[in-house]
Structure 1
């Protein structure tokens, strides 16, 4: 009886709030939250958190005052403590100190609000494991947050942070830390104490250098430092023994970093100021699979690149390379070589459009060596491709290859062998496929690159749009006329190759894919492009519209400031004149800008 008496005494205060701000949470939601321990209030337009949410596990439910007979499922006194509170996509400008009344929280999601500060009471949520604060207006992180010993993941991207507390190093169980899109100019030295960290995102800040303490993060697998002001990478980063992916795009690097990181598989150094590659730096990359060097100022490739024995993808787009060393053809694992936007001499353009295999075969033919050794090399490189299932490629290179078989379908045994192997690359080029293999979706957690070129595809299945990790897709030399609208879901897609298809217009969905950096649409029947929509593709640096049916080049195309390579030759337009087109992209864009009506 005393239990009900105490409940009755507290009832007059339970859920109390001023009349002008009534609760926007129904009693049904609160009742369900008491049973499940979870409450989702995302996207409700809330300006503040209702008081009865904070007091969910403190006060007697309102219905208890009206109904004293409870069924087995309505025993509110047997309630579960709230462990998960989702408040994302509201209009919260502050969080009350009353958040301390929910000490059992393990997940607190506040992303996409208007918070400019956080209460110190957050430090009392000692069970908290996930704290999502992205897309707010935070200028600082309270020291009390650094006392949350159980915190595994904290997301702070898209805020206004200028610095971080030195106490950040106390979060020793942290595995994920996202600080991207802030105003950070430096990092606390205590960052090196986050020894459980596996993912660290520092992109889109104002960092001019990286601290040596990062070398202590021996479990970090992914480090993203893109879009900063970095001019150099400390050699100490080689101490990051687990590092597999390193993003250094859009910085001010003049040299390829010398990083003997033993596990490094993917290195992205595009959009920097690199002018030369040195054999010494390349020889450090003993496990490299993907090397992106696009949009730099590289003029010469070193002759000795054979140390890159594990390299499967090399992106050299939009550099100043005039010649290719024949030694490139000796890289045993190289499957994709991208060279668009380079002033190459001595290599026919039609050879470049035929794909990597033909180009490497051409370069191999330029190597002068004794016939006996040549036969040995050919045998060593040919035998693996003769196998129906190349287990080495799948397990070691994470590559599923079934190319040049002239097959109408892909054998199921290939997909069976790739199950649970985290395959990142698929090459089904040069077959007779009329549709995209439906079992590709089984690889969706890891697949980032697909080559389906030189087939007979008449349409692109929407299934491919489920591969949300996809960054590169090659669909050249097919029979495509359009792309599915669902392709807009591929928010990580950087390049798409559509040369030699049957497109009569610029694919509508591509205008909505702001992540695109390369669009190759040469040798189709495209008759117009919309420059006003192309301008919105702020990362687009390579656009190939050669050999199409363009009768008019709109002057506004000159406003696409991100373009570094624009191919227009082989179209029936009269202006700009062929002499201007021959001078290159800069001359064409300058001419087009001069034609814009003032």
Structure 2
């Protein structure tokens, strides 16, 4: 249940370009997550209001000591789009969500969040933050969502709360992941680090030790190979828009729980035979917009695979057993999506039996290859 909710948050607040978050929508998810974690509806004290109506009425339950220019209701403090150059003072101590996105804040000081021990979500997206004090997040044991994207940070902040579930820090200037960066953060399930100048040499050995991360995205970075020291618990790994040139056998040895793999928009020329054997539970593979000349070997051995994107490569032929196993019962799930368009394949030469393990003609995206 918690994974589904976290992925819902990702959908609401995903990637670039910058788009302000809908805090009221996040409040709804927050309530569900609270109920999921403790089995109670702590915020529904009266039990006599309608979600659809009251979530859209920000004036109810108004907080009298709200910082100047901000909007406050139901323990949520919204101070976005105010041109703030620093964190407002006198934020109510019982605040659970603090929205400071789209301002001009340059630094997070030691006492900026002092006494905010109940804070559950902190949004600092789209500021000019280049420095965060090592003690800025002290005593914030209840913090679960921390969004630091679209800032000027050059490193992962020190001493972050250990119970964070989701950290979004994409579109910064981080080039090195230190060994101590995520120390003790065993509850971190979602980590978004895209659009940072991270190279393989910038990831120190042991940087992801003891983490139980389920979703990791390092797209639009400077990776030239698949990192081999990422959390072994990964269910989703997205490394799109990098400079990865090949997939080797040892690349996926750690990631046996992987269900979704994103390697689109790289420079991959070949996938070594046996590389996919370690990710036997994978359901979706993105290898589109690369330089592949052949169908990656081993796709026909993946019993749970449902979707594979191979469009915009240099594939010239498709074999009758490239996607489907020779024994029909060896496949647990039918393929519901195969994309092969924008390849120099002579589609009329593909034998019909090649797609015998698909759910139907609508599962295929072929099309014609046109030279520019």
Which residue in 1 is equivalent to 2:178? Answer: 188
Instruction: Name the CA distance, whole Å, in 2 between partners of 1:30 and 1:283.
Output: 56
Whole-angstrom CA distance in 2 between matches of 1:188 and 1:143: 15
Residue 165 of structure 1 contacts residue 188 of structure 1 at CA under 8 Å; is this kept in 2? no
TM-score, reference length from structure 2: 0.71
Indicate if the aligned counterparts of 2:273 and 2:298 stay in contact, CA closer than 8 A: yes
User: Which structure would you say has the larger RCO, counting Cα contacts within 8 Å and 6 or more residues apart?
Assistant: 2
Map of 1:461-500 to 2, 5 A cutoff? none
Matched, 1:149 2:141: yes
Aligned-partner SS, 1:120: coil
Q: Which residue in the other structure is 2:206 paired with?
A: 213
Q: Answer yes or no: is 1:166 the counterpart of 2:166.
A: no
Q: Tell me which residue corresponds to 1:533.
A: none
Change (3 A) 1:31 1:306: closer
- Tell me the secondary structure at the aligned position of residue 206 of structure 2: helix
92, 109, 131: which one aligns with 1:140: 131
SS of 1:328's equivalent in the other structure is: coil
In structure 2, distance between residues paired with 1:249 and 1:186: 19
Segments of structure 2 that go 5 or more residues without pairing to the other structure are 1-57, 326-330
Corresponding position of 2:291: 297
Give the SS at the match of 2:276: helix
Residue deviations 1:119-173 (CA, integer Å, cap 9, x gap): 32234122212100001111122222331222111001111111233323xx110
Tell me how far 1:287 sits from its aligned partner. Answer: 0.6
Structure 2 partner of 1:92: 84
1:360: Cα distance to partner?
Answer: 6.8
Larger proportion of helix:
1
* 2:228 counterpart residue number: 235
What is the correspondence of 1:287-366 to structure 2 with a 5 Å cutoff? 287-302=281-296, 304-331=298-325, 332=331, 333-345=334-346, 347-348=347-348, 361-363=352-354
Cα gap change, 1:211 to 1:84, in 2 (>3 Å): same
| Residues 399-421 of structure 1: CA deviation (Å, up to 9, x unaligned) | xx7x68xxxxxxxxxxxxxxxxx
Rg larger for? 1
Q: 44, 50, 54: which one pairs with 2:68?
A: 50
TM-score (norm 1): 0.46
CA distance in 1, matches of 2:112, 2:158: 18
CA distance 1:179–1:303, shift in 2 (3 Å): closer
Taking a change above 3 Å as real, the CA distance of residues 304 and 164 of structure 1, as seen in their structure-2 partners, is closer
- For structure 1, the 5+ residue unaligned runs are 1-28, 40-48, 57-80, 352-358, 365-377, 386-400, 405-428, 430-450, 452-473, 475-496, 498-519, 521-543, 547-564, 568-583, 586-598
Of 190, 195, 209, the match for 1:199: 190
Q: Distance in 2 between matches of 1:189 and 1:303?
A: 35
Give yes or no for the alignment of 1:271 onto 2:289.
Answer: no
- Residues 36-89 of structure 1 show CA distances to partners (whole Å, capped at 9, x for unaligned) of x9x6xxxxxxxxx528x79x9xxxxxxxxxxxxxxxxxxxxxxxx973211123
The CA distance in 1 between the partners of 2:119 and 2:323, in whole Å, is 53
Contact 2:170 2:196 in 1 (8 A): yes
Change in 2 beyond 3 A, CA 1:217/1:225: farther
Number of corresponding residues: 300
Runs of 4+ in 1 over 6 A off after TM superposition: none
